[in-house]
Structure 1
Amino acid sequence: MDAILLHLVPASAYALLALVVWRAPKRIDATSTAAASRILLAAGLLTHGFVLGYDMLDGATLRFGLAPALSLTLWLALVLYFAESFVTRLDSLLLLALPVASVCCLLPLALPGDVQITTPGWGLRLHLVVAMLAYSLFALAALHAVMLAVTERRLHHAQLDGDLDRLPPLLTVENLLFRLIAVAFVFLSLTLASGLLLPDLPTTRPLTVKYKLGFTAASWLVFGVLLAGRHLRGWRGRVAQRWTGAGFTFLLLAYAGTHFVLEVLFKR
């Protein structure tokens, strides 16, 4: 019961914040609503971080699995959004991210994960931190791409209602998208390098490791081509959104896909 209540606190905070954002004034200068949203988001992040420690840390043992990893990814993505919200108001992004984060807070109750690493070395700790930073930045980039696609479609069909007042200029969001991808690409490169070079990474499931490495390399290649296309040919709009979606899909398959098969389908 205590564990259920513990997970319900951040999930409820995120759900309440999603409701506040949904019902908030649509004017970009609604500063009072923005301040209240930041307070609620900060409260959710603090409690969510405490829950992550409860789920993943047990003395010298590091517990990992599909649900805790998804929860950690959404937490890091929302931390990045919290920092970003002081520069640009992105209510539409919150409306996409908060319901997902709320569900991910509760997932560890059903899928706690059975991957346990005892006394992980500094190399493994660094590898996991860098990998989760890369995943979270790419998750945030994917949300930006979805927001751009939805907005451009509404503009194309002349659906110009008041909801567009929640959005910053599309060029601003697109430039932010590529900045996120560029930084995440650096972290993903470090993740691949550390995964290949560090001797203390667990190899008890060699087939899973091979799948992860293959899908991560495919994602790295897709995002590398996207950044090169942006720099050399000025790729933007739907081309950029499609490449972002493809790269993020490979990244999801690299971790979430293999763990879903092992933990949910095969019960391993």
Structure 2
Amino acid sequence: MHTYFFVLAALCDAVCAFLPSKNRLAISIGTLTGWLLHGGALWADVVAPDSLRMGFAIMLSGTLWISVAAYWLENRNFSLDGLRVLVLPCAALAVLLPAIFPGTVISLEGKTALFPWHIAIATLAYSTLTIAAFHAVLMALQESKLHTRLSPQKSGWFALAIDRLPALLTMEKLLFRLIGFGFLLLTLTVVSGVVFSEELFGQAFKWDHKTVFTMLSWVLFGVLLAGRRWRGWRGKTALSFTLIGFTLLLLAYVGSRFVLEVVLHRSVI
């Protein structure tokens, strides 16, 4: 049954992604409906008595689910049509992935109560930094468009959506707010991961691809926030750090699990 919810959620996201921006109420209601369907289907698919279903597709789907919520909430205060046409098509694709790549069932029996919280915090961290990456892409496009101004008659629908974004300084404030919150969540993910790793593997760090890429991403975002605080970093420097840090984070879990599950056909925790 939840497969139908995934399909309906994908349809809602796809339709809302390409509705004209003047239909703000329809977009808002449609996005919220798709988000609720997506969340209900994820819950039914992932949560079972004393076990969780995990995998790269489920993590990616959950990340985009939270990213849609972040877009929907931000859009109530700012006109973020450019973000809509980036986030919702990605969510429409991600919502279908768990039906194709179901992942692995992980038993919670004998595991600490920290384990589900570690997964929840990690998903929140990935989601927050994903929406920050979308912001960074929009800012790069917004800055580029300032130097190649076209008349409204020659502008496409996406260019017009970029034009309706808040000012660059406002977008930059939103970006660093997201990065700061995401960095805090990522720090909690690393700390809880140490405890979980000690319990499961008997060592504080299991130096696999996931750990290495996560730590590199954590260092990059930390350096970016320190550079912003003490050196006033902004503009292209901030955007480069954000996108590189996000790419490393994407490789840390989604990328490594994709290789293990799909390419090598190995079950992993």
> How do 1:1-268 and structure 2 match up within 5 A?
2-20=1-19, 23-25=20-22, 33-119=23-109, 120-159=111-150, 161=152, 163=160, 164-198=162-196, 202-203=200-201, 210-268=208-266
Can you list the C-alpha shifts for 1:193-222, whole angstroms capped at 9, x where unaligned? 111123676449x99862211111100100
Percent of aligned pairs sharing the same letter: 41
Matched residue of 2:149: which SS? coil
Aligned equivalents of 2:145 and 2:135: distance in 1? 15
Equivalent residues of 1:75, 1:101 under 8 A apart: yes
Aligned equivalents of 2:121 and 2:207: distance in 1? 17
Aligned equivalents of 2:183 and 2:122: distance in 1? 11
Equivalent residues of 1:208, 1:258 under 8 A apart: no
Equivalent residues of 1:216, 1:250 under 8 A apart: yes
TM-score w.r.t. the length of structure 1 is 0.90
Offset of 1:118 from its aligned partner? 2.9
Can you list the C-alpha shifts for 1:24-69, whole angstroms capped at 9, x where unaligned? 24xxxxxxx2222211111011100011012211222101001011
Equivalent residues of 2:51, 2:105 under 8 A apart: no
Equivalent residues of 2:205, 2:211 under 8 A apart: no
1:28 corresponding residue in structure 2: none
Offset of 1:236 from its aligned partner? 1.0
Equivalent residues of 1:124, 1:201 under 8 A apart: no
1:29 corresponding residue in structure 2: none
Matched residue of 1:198: which SS? helix
Aligned length: 257
Flag structure 2 segments of 5+ consecutive residues without an equivalent: none
The code of the aligned residue for 1:130 comes to: I
Aligned equivalents of 2:241 and 2:105: distance in 1? 32
After superposition, the Cα gap between the structure-2 partners of 1:87 and 1:36, relative to the gap in structure 1 and judged at 3 Å, is same
After superposition, the Cα gap between the structure-2 partners of 1:102 and 1:232, relative to the gap in structure 1 and judged at 3 Å, is same
Matched residue of 1:256: which SS? helix
Aligned equivalents of 1:112 and 1:251: distance in 2? 22
TM-score w.r.t. the length of structure 2 is 0.89
Aligned equivalents of 1:251 and 1:208: distance in 2? 17
Aligned equivalents of 1:201 and 1:186: distance in 2? 23
Root-mean-square deviation (CA, aligned residues, Å) is 2.1
Aligned equivalents of 2:118 and 2:86: distance in 1? 28
Can you list the C-alpha shifts for 1:92-146, whole angstroms capped at 9, x where unaligned? 0010000110001111111010242334532011111111111000000000000
Matched residue of 1:62: which SS? strand
Aligned equivalents of 1:209 and 1:34: distance in 2? 47
Equivalent residues of 1:56, 1:62 under 8 A apart: yes
After superposition, the Cα gap between the structure-2 partners of 1:15 and 1:193, relative to the gap in structure 1 and judged at 3 Å, is same
